[in-house]
Amino acid sequence: MLNDDLIIVKLGGSVITDKKSETPKLRTAVLRRLAKEIAASGKRTIIVHGAGSFGHPLAKKYKLNDGLIEESQKKGFALTQASVRRLNLKVIDVLQNAGISAISLPPGAILKCRGGKVAEFGAGAFDGYLRAGLVPVTFGDAVIDESKGFCICSGDLLVEKLACEFEPEKVIFAADVDGIFDRNPAERYAKLLREISVGKIGKIAGEKSRHTDVTGGMKGKIESIKRIVAKGTQAVVLNGNKKGRLLSALLGKETVCTKVEP
């Protein structure tokens, strides 16, 4: 389903929440600005957001990504879903206040995983809302896994699945770093890669997040990007904390970022 006027935007959990916090904490001002940038672009979008401090600490505490091993995890599963949905409703609220007709599509209600990979996917729901001129918003969630009971479905995995189904113009990851670096960006002499081909990205190590990230940080993102770009869609990684970069990328204007080309 080719949608060459559609852009998938991933709002990283480390951008829209305070990921270092062990308790859920929204970064309201950043989220409001990003919402305004999306609205100002006038682009047709699907928005995916990460879970940040609303999901990762709970998912880690109850070992949800290991699957269903013991009874006590069921409580953790329910608590995690409720928490990420609270975040999602806050995101929807901010997007609507910015003038975006955002509607929520919770993964826990519309998809199933198998072995940690998305198996059954409600693409029809996204398509229906897009055709109605609405903006579907989905997010990293705790979901049913047919082989291990349950698992964590990350926002990046959803972006990958959506990109595969909808073949958008591009996908944009608003992260908490300027893009993809040639080594750990915390290291001296780390260089931002402005443009890179999918063939070369395989050699970039990607750093696993230092915080309570159960879904792999930049390392996991690079794996998803490789698969998205291999299907012919351009991927852009930029810093969502820096004003105007998301808007520029949405409009196809030059900005500080990494572009991964097919």
Point out which residues bind ligand IP8 (CB under 6 A): 13, 50-51, 55-56, 59, 80, 84, 140-142, 152, 154-156, 214-215
- How many Å is the maximal CA-CA distance in the chain? 51
Question: Which of 165/182 has CB closer to ligand IP8?
Answer: 165
CB of 37 to ligand IP8, least distance (A): 20
Question: Which of 27/56 has CB closer to ligand IP8?
Answer: 56
CB of 189 to ligand IP8, least distance (A): 29
Question: Which of 200/210 has CB closer to ligand IP8?
Answer: 210
- 142 CB neighbour count, 10 Å cutoff: 28
CB of 142 to ligand IP8, least distance (A): 5
Residues 108 and 132: their CA atoms lie apart, in Å, by 23
CB of 13 to ligand IP8, least distance (A): 4
CB of 113 to ligand IP8, least distance (A): 12
Question: Which of 214/237 has CB closer to ligand IP8?
Answer: 214
Question: Which of 59/118 has CB closer to ligand IP8?
Answer: 59
Question: Which of 25/248 has CB closer to ligand IP8?
Answer: 25
SS3 of the chain: CCEEEEEEEEECHHHHECCCCCCCCECHHHHHHHHHHHHHHCCEEEEEECCHHHCHHHHHHCCHHHCCCCCHHHHHHHHHHHHHHHHHHHHHHHHHHCCCCEEECCHHHHEEEECCEEEEECHHHHHHHHHCCCEEEEECEEEEECCCEEEEECHHHHHHHHHHHHCEEEEEEEECCCCCECCCCCCCCCCECCEEEHHHHCCCCCCCCCCCCCCCHHHHHHHHHHHHHHCCCEEEEEECCCCCHHHHHHHCCCCCCEEEEC
CB of 64 to ligand IP8, least distance (A): 7
Residue nearest to ligand IP8 as judged by C-beta position: 140
CB of 6 to ligand IP8, least distance (A): 20
Question: Which of 141/160 has CB closer to ligand IP8?
Answer: 141
Residue 115 burial by Cβ neighbours in a 10 Å radius (0-12, 13-18, 19+):
exposed
